[in-house]
Chain A
């Protein structure tokens, strides 16, 4: 095959003599191949996304609703509100951004409001959701939505019963002007809780405990005044939507 062809051929000769190397395919062949493959892959992806989108939306909704019902014990229906420009409004389907969730019982009576919050933990952001009861003026339960804290240490905030007991009635009372919490929710070192607005940290998981406290405090400082200002509206939405059923 290559017995007598000198290796030092210049380019033009290589193109002319077919034995030397495999000639480069015309650019058209490469273009055609990539175009066909890209079109096929686009088609596949679109088909799958079209098929999966409703299932994914349903999954996400179910996950959020489960979290709302968990942090607002006794609720059996939920309504999403958007928070924009200092006002709460009924959220349209698929709304994103800053959201809170009203939890209502079977008669449409407001049981509590579920508020999501986030703060930086040891290994990344800690996303929490907590239930706030306007009647009790307190946080009534909390749960972690997602986090990447160390298994066996930071993730005790999910399971440690003494820690969870902090949130059975964590006072989140407004100040007299109604603009912020009268006492900020703070995480204090293990076994030094003195006030009902303090969270007793888990020893060995102090940073994550603090993150939970910070997430709840910052979200509560922002949302609790608004919720109390618009309490009549939030209650009315529940009676309208549940009463109609």
Chain B
């Protein structure tokens, strides 16, 4: 994508890329650890996604501001310090907002430091682009990450607990599939989503191959 010295103009694509084409979880397969671990309910998934988005946007912005000031040799150290700062901030914010949520997310808040979605954005985008484009792009990636986590968390909560956001939605006779809220359920659901994305990609390529140039490729969920 972007090369050193080339600045990207902000467009809708700057934002949307992170949602679909370069979705951190389903396409780039980054940040697997929180994607598998804290998606046992929709609310956990969305909280984790938003916490990560906050850290992503804030640290990318700071890195983008300092991009000409950070020598190449110490860039990783500098990125990690910046990311760790915002993770600590998020950690305290969540404790101040809700202890229940803090307990549910457990160690995975602190582990945002090691989330490769964030370090990946810092290295491949924020360190090369202007502040505006960086904010838009990293926000897109963060929302893409949040949506990916939510789509896993929703499936797992509906099947594993018969509820969505804690509200029971399945008929009374529904027996919850307990395995879905256990770790193996995370792998099953992730696998199913990846199949869907792979199938969609293949279908698009075939379409382009068949009708060369003619028809437009619509989004498909």
Contact = CB atoms under 8 A, between A and B. Distances in A.
Interface string A29-52: 110011011101100110011001
Q: In the complex, which range does the number of interface residues on chain B fall in?
A: 20 to 34
Contacts of A152: 176, 178, 181-182
Main secondary structure of the interface of A (DSSP, over half): helix
Contact of A30 (B74, B82, B96): B74
A38 B78 CA distance: 8
Contacts of B151: none
A202 B57 CA distance: 48
Contacts of B86: 44
Interface string B202-221: 00000000000000000000
A56 B92 contact: yes
B71 A33 contact: yes
Interface string B85-123: 110110011011011000100000000000000000000
B73 interface: yes
Which among A36, A41, A63 has the greatest number of chain B C-beta atoms within 10 A? A41
Contacts of B72: 22
Interface residues of A, number: 27
A146 interface: yes
Nearest to A150: B182
A30 B181 contact: no
Given A44-B85, A45-B88, A56 B73 contact: no
A161 B144 CA distance: 42
A18 interface: no
Nearest to B106: A148
A150 B101 CA distance: 18
Contacts of B95: 52, 55-56, 59
Which among A30, A33, A37, A55 has the greatest number of chain B C-beta atoms within 10 A? A37
Closest A-B pairs by Cβ, 9 of them: A152-B178, A41-B85, A55-B96, A52-B96, A52-B92, A25-B71, A48-B89, A30-B74, A56-B95
